[in-house]
Structure 1
Amino acid sequence: MTRPALVLALLLVPLAGASLLTGVASLSGDGLVFWISRLPRTLAVSLTGAALAVAGVIMQQLARNRFVEPGTVGTGEAAALGLLAVTLAAPGAALWIKMLAATGAGLLGTALFLAMIRRLPRQEVLLVPLAGLVWSGVLGAAVLHIGWQTDLLQLVGIWLMTGEFSGVIAGRYELLWIAGLAAALAIHAADRFAILGLGDDVARGLGLDPGAVMRLGLVVVALVTALVMATVGMVPFLGLVVPNIVSRIMGDNLRASLPVTALGGAALLLLCDVLGRLLIFPYEIPVGSVLGILGAGLFLWLLWRAPRHG
């Protein structure tokens, strides 16, 4: 285990302990609150943070640009369109059908974004995140319009605008384990994504099939985004800030940095969740709001500081 990974693993212990102990309800008695609410919430926050951070790295490798993440390239909005379609066509559909629809729509939306940016000049790196924001805005406008026309704006708000863990209880977060497994698969294939980030020609020269790795990355990004969005809503900035901080410390060795990125995502989201519960106790601030403010500050710091690695 590398030193940054060890530091983050040790940091996760007090953060998880604080998450388990923070709340309005007392843990005394039969421990029902602990098993039904506190433990599932802590696990959900950790899984979400780790999975979104890894998905952010994969998205950056697919787009070959450090200033993108699933939340800024339309993946979440496309997944919301898939969920809306199933909700309108078959309101009583099983949860796994809704997840498949959301994942498929998210995959399609991300694939279209990647196809669009292939036409942009390679030297204009800032055009890629700008194109992602425009694409997200277009898809988001479509989601809001359909939600307004069909009286589903409340659901749309939950999916796209909250990042809320207060409703997580046992039986309502377990799909996030699949997101965690998808992130673990991406970590296992770290070398392939690192080679893909060098370009298609280099990848082919090294005996790698760029199309197969691209499809794997799209599935991981779309699956993680859809599962997180349907469970707790979109969480901003995490997939952008954590990978960039880790890359500035450890460089571009994905085999070594991806586990650290996962631990960093879990630690940052746990910190934001605990802060959200304490700042206006006994009320809560959604973790998405706390992370949005903190993430914006961290992102500006990243733009200002000179990188330690070229």
Structure 2
Amino acid sequence: MTLSLPLALRRSLVFAWLLGLLALALVLGLALGAVVVPPGEVVRALLGLEANPIVTELRLPRVLGGMLVGAALGVAGAAFQGLFRNPLADPYLMGAASGAAFGVTLLAVLLGGLSPAFAQHAVFQGLPLSATLFGFLGAVFATLLTLVLAGGVARTGELVLAGVVVGSVLTGLTTYLMLQDADRVRAVFAYTLGNLAFLGWPSVKALTLFLLLALPPLLLLGRVLNALQLGEEVAQSLGLPLSALKLLLLAAASLLTAASVAQAGIIGFVGLVTPHALRRLLGEDYRVLLPASALGGAALLALADLLARTLTRPAELPVGVVTTLLGGPFFLYLLWRRRGRA
């Protein structure tokens, strides 16, 4: 469908605005923190003219990793909202968050507790591979269990109900395991709050790989999501292999969600708020909304992490707390508007 000029111009401006926000988040994220680094030193460090491990080894992978996590959650949230035809769906609808928390808790049980550094949002002290692997496997397990209980992807209503059941059961199991040890409670609680301080260059590489695997199929499925908005019967009448395409869409979005949760913990509202807000500016065309949600999620999470690092410096807040404080009022505003329209 040919876009009218005002809508096309508006979309161009929104994409330019998102790219500008990303650039601003990158610059501020490298310069600001517990220690302020002058812009000149940042530039010299990035060009390799001056050694500055604060910029190149701490802040740069953290900012880039945060952008990758935000992009993954943003595009996954848009995909789930299109799949379930519900603008209030989020990436954790299939139980991925509860599964990841259970996986990390299970790791703590097997090891007899995680290191104090992990509980304080610092480096894992030799456990990053194990922790992220168990978190990833837990998220994948929860998603697959939801699919099995729902009987496949044919009925999206059953998927939602199965996701709620799986998430509740795994949350109960996680709570039971956490209560066996006070150190375990602190470690898993730190993980569930979400934090980007865990991210290093290995995390950036892993997240880049997952995005390269899952993002292209999702972008190509924008036309399928557009057809689903008209109803599954209409989509099937267009000759689309709907079950296979829905399974591919669900697998790609769940893979991005699992990778994000495994690397950065549970960060709420990014995958819910970003596509919903951009839909109001860009319209319902998922061929446009999916890439915009990736850019918007990256900018939102990078800026939220900047607030987490600077609001209480030299200490810092978990970024999941910041996104909740920002996203919660927005979500309530959406509910208020929907009620007013009704």
> Which interval holds the TM-score relative to the shorter structure?
0.7 to 0.9
Name the residue aligned to 2:13: 3
Name the residue aligned to 1:23: 33
In structure 2, distance between residues paired with 1:114 and 1:7 = 40
Name the residue aligned to 2:271: 239
Of 239, 248, 251, the match for 2:283: 251
- SS of equivalent residue, structure 1 residue 175: helix
- SS of equivalent residue, structure 1 residue 283: coil
Name the residue aligned to 2:22: 12
Of 325, 330, 342, the match for 1:293: 325
Within 5 Å, which residues of 2 pair with 1:51-62? 51-62=72-83
Alpha-carbon shift at residue 245 of structure 1 (Å): 0.9
Residue 53 of structure 2 aligns with an amino acid whose one-letter code is: L
Residue 30 of structure 2 aligns with an amino acid whose one-letter code is: L
Higher Cα radius of gyration: 2
Alpha-carbon shift at residue 303 of structure 1 (Å): 2.4
Name the residue aligned to 1:213: 245
Post-superposition CA distance 1:140-173 (Å, at most 9, x none)? 11222244458854553344x2210123222344
Alpha-carbon shift at residue 190 of structure 1 (Å): 1.4
**Percent of pairs with identical residues:** 32
* Unaligned residue ranges in structure 1 (runs of 5+): 122-127
Of 170, 174, 178, the match for 1:139: 170
In structure 1, distance between residues paired with 2:143 and 2:199 = 26
Alignment pair present for 1:188 and 2:224: no
In structure 2, distance between residues paired with 1:272 and 1:200 = 37
Alignment pair present for 1:267 and 2:299: yes
In structure 1, distance between residues paired with 2:274 and 2:242 = 26
Alpha-carbon shift at residue 237 of structure 1 (Å): 0.9
The number of aligned residues is: 300
Deviates more, 1:28-37 or 1:224-233: 28-37
Within 5 Å, which residues of 2 pair with 1:106-117? 106-111=142-147
Name the residue aligned to 1:174: 205
TM-score, structure 1 as length reference:
0.82
Residue 69 of structure 1 aligns with an amino acid whose one-letter code is: D
Residue 21 of structure 2 aligns with an amino acid whose one-letter code is: L
Q: Retained in 1: the 8 A contact 2:77–2:91?
A: yes
Residue 221 of structure 1 aligns with an amino acid whose one-letter code is: A
Name the residue aligned to 2:311: 279
Q: CA RMSD in A?
A: 3.3
TM-score, structure 2 as length reference:
0.75
In structure 1, distance between residues paired with 2:16 and 2:304 = 21
